[in-house]
Amino acid sequence: QVQVVESGGGLVQPGGSVRLSCEASGRTFSSYTMGWFRQPPGKQRELVARITPSGSTIYADSVKGRFTISRDNAKNTVTLQMNSLKPEDTAVYYCNTYFPPRLPWGQGTQVTVSS
Angle CA 18–114–66, to nearest 5: 40
Alpha helices in the chain, H assignment, sequence order: none
pLDDT at 45 over 90: yes
Which DSSP helix (H) or strand (E) runs through 45? none
Give the pLDDT confidence of 71-83 residue by residue, as tens digits. 999 899 999 999 9
At 80, is the secondary structure helix, strand, or coil?
strand
Task: Identify the sign of the CA torsion 15, 63, 106, 72.
Answer: negative
Residues in the chain: 115
Strand partners, 54: none
Give the pLDDT confidence of 9-43 residue by residue, as tens digits. 999 999 999 999 999 888 788 899 999 999 999 99
